[in-house]
Amino acid sequence: MITYNSKTQTFRLDTANSTYCITIAQKGYLAHSYYGAKIGQDDVSYLTRQMEYPFADSSVFREKLSILDFLHQEYPTDGVGDFRKSALAITNNTGNNAVELKYKDFKITDGYPTLAGLPCVFDKSNKAQTLIITTCDDVLGIEVELYYIIFDDTNAIVRSAKIISHAQEPVFIKKAMSLAFDMDNDDYDAITLNGSWARERHIDRHPIHMGVQEACSVRGETSHQEHPFIAILEKTASWNSGNVYGVNFIYSGNFSALVQRNQFDSLRVMIGINPENFCWKLEPGATFETPQAVVTFSGEGLNGMSHAFHDLYRNHLIRSPYKNQMRPILINNWEATYFNFDTQKLIDIAREASKDGIEMLVMDDGWFGHRSFDDSSLGDWYVNEEKLKGGLKPLVDEVNKLGMKFGIWFEPEMVSPDSDLFRAHPDWAIQIKGREPGMARAQYVLDITRKEVRDHIMNQVEGILRSANIEYVKWDMNRQICDVGSLDLPADQTGEFFHRYVLALYSMQEQLIRDFPKLLLENCSGGGARFDPGMFYYSPQIWCSDDTDAIERLSIQEGTALVYPLSTMGAHVSVCPNHACGRVTPFKTRGYVALSGTFGYELDITKLPPEERAMIPGQIALYKKFSPLVREGDYYRIASACENHEYDCWMSMSRDKKQALVTFVQLYNHPNYKTRMIKLTGLDADKIYKITWPDEDKEKFPPIQLAGATIMNAGIPVRRDWGDYQAQLIFIEALP
Ligand code: GLA
């Protein structure tokens, strides 16, 4: 519900559990008056404390400097007296840097707006509502529309801004964040998700200190290192209790997500396109739309925040027809063979895999040009006939004959210096004239902002997809972008490059899913550097990390699941010692951890020890049984090995609270300990549940029955297994 109270000049957005209020303050400044748990229908304009600035006469508006740096703002601007970080910075042809937005108008509508060329939320149930507040700066001759979308089934609010120029000359947008708001600090902590290659999105919780704390990327992609997400939470907030605010960004390029604590102990929270290396020339009459950003409030701890994000993305962002379907169980040959394979090897893997119930073979890097290592052929998307004799079709036909689907790997945005493409078009690589462009993994990035480059690549990719029955694509991106220049962009538009790159990427993927509507697309970037909600709009699943070690995956998947649904997390079982870290873990544990993602295998099944191979059909049966619960259920974090250094535990529960799958992983065994009791959460206290160990011998581990209240308050017993890295799968089902 969105309302406007003309007496108090306050807009109010109510989701099921939260209230968000914006007040038109003195002189038409837009103040953020409240966000948090639901409140009464009171006049909340007192919360803006507009006239409270020290030394000001509280009965009259004295001067704007006595209010702007103090006011809790809704979309703060640059250069006019709010000295905190601004959300909007614009320069015009006078060279002056100042924007002062004043309230002009508003509209409340049913439905939701769409954004041109950008991923954006949708609503199939026709229950979304949108508030549009128009503000303007008459000196610059610009209008800024602030968008707020709410839904009936999630506590998330989706925001974006549209800048419209009525100026006579071009203006230059130097910063346009998607979301900003200020709030009182209450001794809050912040959480960010940080990492590295093969170590993505680890949860980092820390007190908010004075000044700015920022997570950002200038790498041209979301990145392994920092993530477009910040949570602000009470010191005492835990998985299940306490107030938590979360912000996230529906975008796949350079971002900035920050919280700033100031002299008055206020917090400013912002997220949007990173202003570093950004400048957008806005011609008279043109508009610029920011990507959408999401904010959530949970009064029920981090799990409540996760539910809001998961519901928003599953119900209102992922478009793929596969989103509510069981994904084919795939076997990928990357860790099995790296570049060293041929038709026969792939068929051998497929044949053995099909015997165990695996449903799709994915041929990874190395099938094209003359690629036999990572130093050639990107851009030459034609089959390497030395490896695949007779081409792709005989291989795919053979795999299909085994009853399996076939999938393929591309890295469409890249070019190797040793490639026919680069020899023909050296200027297609991103570069600054007169400078040697930097290489990474022996490759350059193609300037896909140029239409002829995009068209050439898409023609090749689509030609391959039409040449055989290919049902899945893994779209990879294995380096970051620097030495940025485009032969197509004049000097006063080079600051547009990074954003244009992301728009170009989106347009290529949009074309791909439009031309191949049944294709299952999985995004990937050196593992999980493009695991972001922007990509959900095109692909229902994303490769989570190049680290397939079950124990490393605990923290990667915990951080990822804090914001993103399990149905989006690419997770595979691989061999030990693990290729990324050398650890040896039980095959069973590797299976249980992968079952909480899209599930598949990344190994040479023909060489797997027989005792491990024998476990595959059982793992597949578990996946088939529990996939709907994992995909569509509510995710609850029960315990985190990152916090307790001993064990990890999480649960997927059906919406009706009748079924739940619990995964428990014990890091280290210690002698002479007692059975651990795990207290679950979210169950129906009054229901009686039957608890089983679906992957264990029923004689040895007979079912038990307990009331929901007992399970949540006293706990269920989890055994102490012999050895390290042991895991248990526990199924909980309500009795009729
Ligand atoms: C990236 C991906 C891997 C694999 C390799 C191939 O690192 O994350 O899964 O596809 O590229 O080069």
By the 8 A CB rule, do 374 and 440 touch? no
- Other Cβ atoms less than 10 A from the Cβ of 372: the count is 15
User: Which residue lies with its CA nearest to atom 7 of ligand 1?
Assistant: 526
Which of left, alpha, beta for 329 (phi over 0: left; psi -120 to 50: alpha)? beta
Within 8 A by CB and 6+ apart from 276, the residues are: 216, 218, 254, 256
Comparing CA positions, the residue from 207, 203, 200 lying closest to residue 192 is 203
Distance CA 542, CA 547 (A): 14
Judge residue 453's burial from the number of C-beta atoms within 10 Å of its C-beta, 0-12 exposed, 13-18 middle, 19 or more buried: buried
Q: Is 475 in the pocket of ligand 1 (CB under 6 A)?
A: no
Q: How confident is the model at residue 60 (pLDDT cuts 50, 70, 90)?
A: low
Q: Using most ligand atoms within 8 A of CB, pick from 365, 443, 480, 525 the residue to mutate for ligand 1.
A: 365
Catalytic residues: 476, 546
Distances in whole angstroms, Cα of residue 306 to Cα of each of 85, 290, 398, 567:
28, 24, 43, 13
Q: How confident is the model at residue 712 (pLDDT cuts 50, 70, 90)?
A: very high
pLDDT at position 526 is 98
Q: What is the pLDDT of residues 244-286, one digit of tens each?
A: 999 999 999 999 999 999 999 999 999 999 999 999 999 999 9
* Token pair recorded at residue 388: 């695949």
pLDDT at position 674 is 87
Q: From the alpha carbon of 474, which atom of ligand 1 is closest? A: 10
Q: Is 471 in the pocket of ligand 1 (CB under 6 A)?
A: no
Mean pLDDT of 693-702: 94
Host H or E run for residue 185:
none
Q: Which long-range contacts (CB under 8 A, 24 or more apart) does 32-35 make?
A: 32/72, 32/73, 32/74, 32/181, 32/182, 32/183, 33/72, 35/181, 35/183, 35/245, 35/295, 35/297
Comparing CA positions, the residue from 323, 203, 259, 267 lying closest to residue 73 is 267
pLDDT at position 571 is 98
pLDDT at position 374 is 97
pLDDT at position 356 is 98
Q: What is the pLDDT of residues 13-37, one digit of tens each?
A: 999 999 999 999 989 999 999 999 9
Q: Is 547 in the pocket of ligand 1 (CB under 6 A)?
A: no
Q: What is the pLDDT of residues 443-479, one digit of tens each?
A: 999 999 999 999 999 999 999 999 999 999 999 999 9
pLDDT at position 488 is 86
- Other Cβ atoms less than 10 A from the Cβ of 214: the count is 17
Least confident window among 50-54, 160-164, 255-259: 50-54
pLDDT at position 49 is 80
Within 8 A by CB and 6+ apart from 245, the residues are: 35, 183, 231, 232, 233, 269, 295, 296, 297
DSSP conformation letters of 214-258: EEEE-SSS--SSB-SEEEEE-TT--SSSB-EEEEEE--SS-EEEE
DSSP conformation letters of 600-622: EEES-GGGS-HHHHTTHHHHHHH
* Token pair recorded at residue 551: 């124990």
User: Which residue lies with its CA nearest to atom 6 of ligand 1?
Assistant: 365
- Other Cβ atoms less than 10 A from the Cβ of 439: the count is 15
pLDDT at position 53 is 57
Q: From the alpha carbon of 524, which atom of ligand 1 is closest? A: 8
Distance CA 360, CA 524 (A): 18
Inform me whether the pLDDT recorded for 167 exceeds 70: yes
What is the residue type of 269? Answer: V
Q: How confident is the model at residue 506 (pLDDT cuts 50, 70, 90)?
A: very high
Inform me whether the pLDDT recorded for 67 exceeds 90: no
Distance CA 709, CA 221 (A): 46
What is the residue type of 664? Answer: F
Q: How confident is the model at residue 45 (pLDDT cuts 50, 70, 90)?
A: confident
Distance CA 620, CA 605 (A): 14
User: Which residue lies with its CA nearest to atom 11 of ligand 1?
Assistant: 526
Q: What is the pLDDT of residues 654-676, one digit of tens each?
A: 999 999 999 999 999 999 888 99
> 365 CA to middle of ligand 1, Å?
7
pLDDT at position 732 is 98
Judge residue 171's burial from the number of C-beta atoms within 10 Å of its C-beta, 0-12 exposed, 13-18 middle, 19 or more buried: buried
Q: Is 398 in the pocket of ligand 1 (CB under 6 A)?
A: no
Mean pLDDT of 167-178: 98
- The C-alpha R_g of the chain, in whole angstroms, comes to 27
Q: What are phi and psi of 630, to 5 degrees?
A: -65, -40
By the 8 A CB rule, do 124 and 115 touch? no
pLDDT at position 64 is 81
Instruction: Please provide the average confidence, as pLDDT, over all residues in the chain.
Output: 96
User: Which residue lies with its CA nearest to atom 12 of ligand 1?
Assistant: 365
Distance CA 263, CA 255 (A): 26
Within 8 A by CB and 6+ apart from 98, the residues are: 77, 78, 79, 80, 139
Host H or E run for residue 459:
helix 451-466
Mean pLDDT of 611-623: 98
Q: Is 478 in the pocket of ligand 1 (CB under 6 A)?
A: yes
Inform me whether the pLDDT recorded for 510 exceeds 90: yes
Which of left, alpha, beta for 723 (phi over 0: left; psi -120 to 50: alpha)? left
Name 273's bridge partners. 255
Which carries the bigger pLDDT value, residue 539 or residue 66? 539
> 682 CA to middle of ligand 1, Å?
38
Q: How confident is the model at residue 52 (pLDDT cuts 50, 70, 90)?
A: low
What's the number of CA atoms in the CB half-sphere (13 Å) around residue 623?
A: 32
Host H or E run for residue 492:
none
User: Which residue lies with its CA nearest to atom 4 of ligand 1?
Assistant: 334
> 446 CA to middle of ligand 1, Å?
18
- Other Cβ atoms less than 10 A from the Cβ of 703: the count is 11
pLDDT at position 327 is 97
pLDDT above 70 coverage of the chain, percent: 98
Inform me whether the pLDDT recorded for 57 exceeds 70: no
Q: Is 148 in the pocket of ligand 1 (CB under 6 A)?
A: no
Q: What is the pLDDT of residues 295-312, one digit of tens each?
A: 999 999 999 999 999 999
HEC profile of 546-594? CCCCHHHHHHHHHHHHCCCCHHHEECCEECCCCCCCCCCCCHHHHHHHH
pLDDT at position 632 is 96
Distance CA 557, CA 562 (A): 8
pLDDT at position 672 is 87
Q: What is the pLDDT of residues 86-132, one digit of tens each?
A: 999 999 989 999 999 999 999 999 999 999 999 999 999 999 999 99
Mean pLDDT of 360-376: 98
Distance CA 496, CA 253 (A): 12
For Cα atoms 359, 361, 367, give the angle at the middle one, nearest 5 degrees: 170
pLDDT at position 58 is 57
* Token pair recorded at residue 222: 């979301």
Mean pLDDT of 58-62: 62
Q: What are phi and psi of 160, to 5 degrees?
A: -160, 170
HEC profile of 668-719? CCCCCCCCEEECCCCCCCCCEEEEECCCCCCCCCCCEEEEHHHHHHCCEEEC
Q: How confident is the model at residue 54 (pLDDT cuts 50, 70, 90)?
A: low
pLDDT at position 341 is 98
What's the number of CA atoms in the CB half-sphere (13 Å) around residue 228?
A: 34
Q: What are phi and psi of 710, to 5 degrees?
A: -70, -45
Q: From the alpha carbon of 525, which atom of ligand 1 is closest? A: 8
Comparing CA positions, the residue from 622, 682, 693 lying closest to residue 658 is 682
Which of left, alpha, beta for 79 (phi over 0: left; psi -120 to 50: alpha)? left
